[in-house]
Amino acid sequence: MTRLGKMLLPANRGEAMFAGLGLLLVASVALLLATTRGLTHTSVSGIADILPLILCLAAPAAALLVAGPSIVRLTPTPFVLAVLIAVGVMMRLAWLGHVPPLDDDFFRYLWDGALVAHGLDPYRYAPSEFLAGNGVPPSHWPLSARALVVLELVNFNDMRTIYPSVAQAAFALAHVIAPFSIDGLRIVFLAGELATLALLIALLRASGASSMWSTLYWWNPLAAAMTVGFCHVDAMLPPLVLGALLASVRGRPFLALVLLGLGAGVKVWPLMLAPIVLWPMVRQPSRLLLGCLVLGATLLVAMGPVLWSTLRPGSGFTAYAGNWSNNNAFYAWAVYGLREGLGLGDGGERGLRLSLAVTTGLLALAQAVRGDGSLNSLATRYMIVAAAVFYLSPAQFPWYAVWFLALAALTACWPLLLASALLPFYYLFFLHWPLEGGRLFFYGIAFVHSVPVLGWLLIVAVRKRAVAGTACAT
């Protein structure tokens, strides 16, 4: 047999089982596509409509985690690496030509991308203004006429866009590739995912860990579905965050700050990681000042336009910061207690949101001042901040988890990886929202995805503290 022929065949039972699991994961995507075709917000009539979506995401994710310990022990031979890459690509490319079930965020992406690609300001008008035809200048009319169907389907179309400049650049690139096509977005987001895989493998090798840990992200059904399948711009966060981590490890903190600033230009969250990069500069004031200037200049470009747009009524960014909440039962109960128990009304919820933001910031600062500059220390602290941002957020949509799932694979954090098998239960929201305003979901079912993860993390933390205490005593 030729050398190429040997590379295309498994060398042992472990490699064969690895390939078999990959085929099952690809088959699960095909089953998901077949069983959820045409599933929209308005077509859900019972649990039978939702269950295939949940099971086709949760069950394969659970199987991947169960197989995880065996996977990471595999030797990354050419065959194994080829299977690793091919399966993840197929899990994402299978979505081409399909409309994602129960999701419509991409319509906003398509409209924003068209505006930016044509040199128009996406922050100036809400989509509903184009539909009403009031106050929109003639320069916008030809484009809005072409995009009438898209404009009608944009969610919260009475609000101006929430997405910062880097996200807008990704949408515009997608429009250039395939105007008003979700597959144009998928091509851009797939490129982001491939960059994530490459960076994840590079970081794993730099840390001395097996590159096979990358499988737990690259084959993760939730990650593949949320980034390319359901087409969420969160796909662009992991490569920027991992790139910043790699830059820091290689002694290039200013590049790391630029990448984190660009990450904030996708979603604001990566800004919470900046203190970890800036803290080592504290004893060098001139260097710290330069770092702050680099970050500030990047943020001016990456977030300046969307922040400027908040000065006028109708900003989606303002509405999100002040009102959005979903899939966080702890938050729902806290708001209920503040409103009904203490009678604080809207002011109580605003105070709670501010408290959570301050807590997240303080935790980020605490992670900045501890640890060292080693890759393992930095990666762990990045992961802690990323997970805290998610679990302290009033809104915990499944696609928000993508950026900490990549870090969880890098740091071998099994409790956080478990989130990928539990977050699909979010889609029960669409069953309960029309029936009882979502109360059972908000106050009960939303615990399903968070309690096991947070409980496991607590157990791990207690055990580590006990071990550390024993070591000190001896």
Q: What is the DSSP string of 246-284?
A: HHHHTT-HHHHHHHHHHHHTTSSGGGGGHHHHHGGGTT-
Mean pLDDT of 70-89: 96
User: Radius of gyration over alpha carbons of the chain, in Å?
Assistant: 23
Does 65 score more than 50 pLDDT? yes
pLDDT in tens, 385-426: 999 999 999 999 999 999 999 999 999 999 999 999 999 999
Q: What is the DSSP letter of 374?
A: S
Average pLDDT, the chain: 93
What is d(CA 39, CA 117) in angstroms, rounded to the nearest whole number? 31
What is d(CA 124, CA 414) in angstroms, rounded to the nearest whole number? 44
Tokens 């006990």 map to which residue?
466
CA distances for 86 relative to 23, 24, 93, 387, angstroms: 10, 13, 10, 29
What is d(CA 397, CA 405) in angstroms, rounded to the nearest whole number? 13
The pTM (predicted TM-score) of the whole model is: 0.94
Mean pLDDT of 248-259: 97
Mean pLDDT of 90-119: 96
Q: Is 7 exposed, middle or buried (0-12, 13-18, 19+ CB in 10 A)?
A: middle
Does 474 score more than 50 pLDDT? no
Structure tokens at 454: 């947070």
Nearest one of 289, 239, 280 to 260, comparing CA atoms: 239
Does 345 score more than 70 pLDDT? yes
Structure tokens at 93: 């490319």
What is d(CA 468, CA 47) in angstroms, rounded to the nearest whole number? 47
pLDDT at 135: 78
Structure tokens at 272: 């919470």
Structure tokens at 312: 């006028």
In this structure, how many other beta carbons lie within 10 angstroms of the beta carbon of residue 356? 18
SS3 content of the chain, % helix, strand, coil (to 5): 75, 0, 25
Helices (H), 209-344: 215-218, 221-224, 237-249, 253-264, 274-278, 285-302, 304-309, 316-323, 329-336
Nearest one of 378, 368, 165 to 274, comparing CA atoms: 368
